[in-house]
Amino acid sequence: MEYPPAVLEKAQRLEQLLRRVAAGEPLGAVNAELGFDLDATDLAQQQAKYAAGGHTWTALIDGRHGHPRKAHSALREWLYTRKEADDSLRAPQLVQEIQARFGVTLHAGHVNYLLRQRALTAPPPGGRPFKHLPPVTTEPDEAATTPESPGESIDHAGLFFPGGRQD
């Protein structure tokens, strides 16, 4: 597996610490010099790990180093300047351009996340779309007010709404 240079460098410094402590140097002084903060318990764990790995610094590599960063600084700067230059670009178009230019596959959601960090995304729609109502007329519609219009008889209205019909 390919590790970042910082992880490899840390494992090599930890090997130096273990060798120097084994040679008799005080743990506090070596910790301060090499940039560690190991206590006696952590030191014992690292010594056991080092011995189990055959006394090589590769045994001290910490496997928890995260995932490799696809959207490196050059890609992010290009993305920001591209979006500032053309505000009409959307994430799927930018994903295709990033793939062609850098050979890196990103998801549109991640591109939007990166653009949101710089406030370069389009504002979200403001809620539900406006409901267009029919225009209100000032003249009363005769067909709606006549009780004889088909399908709108009020003869039995009192059955459904007690007290609603005056006899």
Does the structure show a pLDDT above 80 at 143?
no
* Helices marked H in 53-148: 73-85, 91-102, 108-117, 142-145
| pLDDT(161) > 70 | no
The rounded distance, in Å, linking the Cα atoms of 113 and 119 is 10
DSSP state, residue 60: G
The pLDDT value recorded for residue 151 is 64
Q: Are residues 50 and 11 in the same domain?
A: yes
Question: Is the pLDDT assigned to residue 149 strictly greater than 70?
Answer: no
Residue 157 inside a domain? The answer is no
* pTM score: 0.41
What would the pLDDT profile of 108-131 be if each residue is shown by its tens digit?
Answer: 999 999 999 888 887 666 777 777
Q: What rounded mean pLDDT belongs to the chain?
A: 81
Range of the domain at 27: 5-60
Residue 89 belongs to some domain of the structure: yes
54 lies in the same domain as 83: no
Residues 14 and 45 placed together within one structural domain of the fold: yes
Distance (Å, whole) CA 134 – CA 43: 78
**What's the whole-number mean pLDDT along residues 35-53?**
89
Task: Give pLDDT, residue 130.
Answer: 72
Distance of CA 157 to the CA centre of its chain: 59
Tokens of 165: 């019909």
Task: Let me know if residue 27 belongs to a domain.
Answer: yes
Q: Which of 42-46, 56-60, 76-80 has the lowest mean pLDDT?
A: 56-60
